[in-house]
Every structure is written in structure tokens, then in C-alpha cells.
């Protein structure tokens, strides 16, 4: 391992769901691993810059479409200027270490692919169903284990969950505006009694809406 490496303590992490929409994010690297990072960040609407001397065609297409930008050169510390989050995903160990070191010096959070000791945050394996995100992390000790656990959950959380959550979200303004706090809690509890969710699974959003309306009207009395 290069002598200049900055090794971060492998301590317990604090799980968060980070909003990166509109945030300046740097990905250093142009290969398949970098492409996976970029695609995940694009889904979350980050403002992306890729720095690499060359990039694979998949990444080039993304950059040409305008969802991210490519700076065609080798990494330098100055590339971190104005950046809020950093990913290093090159096949050059010295470059990855430099990115980690430079980010640490500028107090930026950094993730280095396959090098948890160089990271200040780890990427969990994520299962998404609409606005539901189930993230499985092993704090960098075994990404494969995290992926296998996530895959085991895929069959237990169906796609209708995303529709159900969208329906609940549509009710939030009305519930907050018209029900006192104790009845709000009751509404959300009753919304999860299975009636609305089962109606969605049967393909009837109208019936799901009707079930929630019944709960709401009962609490208005």
C-alpha cells in the first residue's frame, strides 16, 4: 500500500439518506465501476462531473446526453474545488489514495471503490420500490453479503409498495391541515390495516382511495 495512504478508522457508521439533487458531485474514473456510480447518482439528480483521461462508451453516452459532464484529463487536487461529495473509482491505486487524501484535507466526504479504509462513507446495497429505499450495509466489510441480503428481500417487497407510498404521500397535506396530532397518528395506523394496500395489489387505486377516505371521515367526526 502506498505510504501516503490515509486510513480511516473502521468504526460504526451513522445511516442516513442523503439528498444529492443539485449538489456538485465528482466521480474520478472512467470505467465500469465509475459508470455504476454515475448512473446511481443520475437517478438522484446530482450535478455530476466525471474526471478521467478516457471513459468507456456507456459513460460517454451519458455525458453526451447532458446528464453529466466529462473533464478529459488526469485527476488533480484542484478538481475538488466547489465539489460537495467525491467518488474515486479508478484502477490506479495511487490516484485513489490521492483522491482520498485530498478530500480528507478539504473535509469532503469520499468513497473509494473497494477500499473501505480510504472511505468516509460507504455505499449500501439498495432495494427501491418507488419512494421506499431499503439499504443494506456491512460498513464496508463485505459488499457481497449486503447484496445477497438485499436480493433476499426483493421477493418480499413488491412493486405495489411504491404505489401505496405515493397514495399516502398525496394524503399528507390534507391530514396535516385538518386533523389534530393524535388523530393523525390514528389515520396513518389505520391506513396500514391492509385494505388500501390489498386494493392496490388487486389493481384498483379507486378502492384504495376509498378505504383511506373512510378512515379519514371516521376521524373527522
Grid-cell match 500500500, residue found: 1
For residues 145-172, give the mean pLDDT.
Answer: 93
User: What is the helix (H) or strand (E) element at residue 47, kind and residue range?
Assistant: strand 47-52
What pTM did the predictor assign? 0.78
CA distances from 208 to 172, 178, 213 (A): 15, 20, 9
Ranges of CATH 3.30.160 domains, the chain: 124-156
Determine the pLDDT at residue 7. Answer: 57
Ranges of CATH 3.40.50.720 domains, the chain: 1-123
For residues 113-117, give the mean pLDDT.
Answer: 90
For residues 155-183, give the mean pLDDT.
Answer: 94
CATH class in words for 1-123: alpha beta
On the question of pLDDT at 1 being above 50, the answer is: no
Ramachandran class of 153: left when φ > 0, alpha when ψ lies in -120 to 50, beta otherwise: alpha
CA 198 to CA 186: how far, in whole Å? 19
The closest of 51, 59, 56, 54 to 78, measured between CA atoms, is: 51
* Lowest-confidence pick of 3-12, 32-41, 57-66, 177-186: 3-12
What percent of the chain is modeled with pLDDT above 70? 95
On the question of pLDDT at 91 being above 70, the answer is: yes
In 55-108, beta strands by DSSP E: 68-72, 85-88
Determine the pLDDT at residue 170. Answer: 97
On the question of pLDDT at 10 being above 70, the answer is: no
Tens digit of each residue's pLDDT (9 = 90 or more) over 26-58:
999 999 999 999 999 999 999 999 999 999 999
* Residue 94 CB coordination number (10 Å): 11
Determine the pLDDT at residue 30. Answer: 97
Backbone angles phi, psi at 134, to 5 degrees: -110, 115
Check if the beta carbon of residue 53 is closer than 8 Å to that of residue 30: yes
Q: Which long-range contacts (CB under 8 A, 24 or more apart) does 62-69 make?
A: 62/35, 62/38, 67/42, 68/27, 68/38, 68/41, 68/42
For residues 96-110, give the mean pLDDT.
Answer: 97
Determine the pLDDT at residue 121. Answer: 93
CA 74 to CA 149: how far, in whole Å? 37
Check if the beta carbon of residue 83 is closer than 8 Å to that of residue 25: yes
- Domain 124-156 bears CATH identifier 1.10.3470: no
Amino acid at each position: 500500500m502506498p505510504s501516503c495512504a490515509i486510513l480511516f478508522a473502521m468504526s460504526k457508521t451513522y445511516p442516513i439518506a442523503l439528498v444529492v439533487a443539485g449538489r456538485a458531485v465528482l466521480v474520478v474514473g472512467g470505467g465500469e465501476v465509475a459508470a455504476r456510480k454515475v448512473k446511481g447518482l443520475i437517478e438522484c439528480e446530482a450535478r455530476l462531473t466525471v474526471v478521467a483521461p478516457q471513459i468507456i462508451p456507456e459513460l460517454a453516452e451519458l455525458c453526451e446526453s447532458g446528464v453529466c459532464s466529462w473533464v478529459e484529463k488526469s485527476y488533480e487536487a484542484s478538481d475538488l474545488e466547489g465539489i460537495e461529495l467525491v467518488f474515486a473509482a479508478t484502477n490506479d491505486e495511487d490516484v485513489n489514495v490521492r483522491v482520498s487524501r485530498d478530500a480528507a484535507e478539504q473535509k469532503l466526504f469520499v468513497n473509494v471503490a473497494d477500499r473501505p479504509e480510504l472511505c468516509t462513507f460507504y455505499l449500501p446495497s439498495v432495494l427501491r420500490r418507488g419512494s421506499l429505499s431499503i439499504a443494506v450495509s456491512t460498513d464496508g466489510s463485505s459488499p457481497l453479503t449486503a447484496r445477497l441480503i438485499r436480493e433476499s428481500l426483493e421477493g418480499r417487497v413488491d412493486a405495489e409498495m411504491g404505489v401505496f407510498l405515493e397514495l399516502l404521500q398525496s394524503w399528507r397535506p390534507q391530514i396535516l391541515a385538518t386533523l389534530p396530532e393524535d388523530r393523525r397518528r390514528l389515520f396513518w395506523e389505520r391506513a396500514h390495516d391492509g385494505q388500501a394496500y390489498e386494493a392496490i395489489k388487486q389493481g384498483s387505486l379507486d378502492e384504495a382511495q376509498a378505504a383511506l377516505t373512510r378512515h379519514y371521515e371516521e376521524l373527522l367526526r
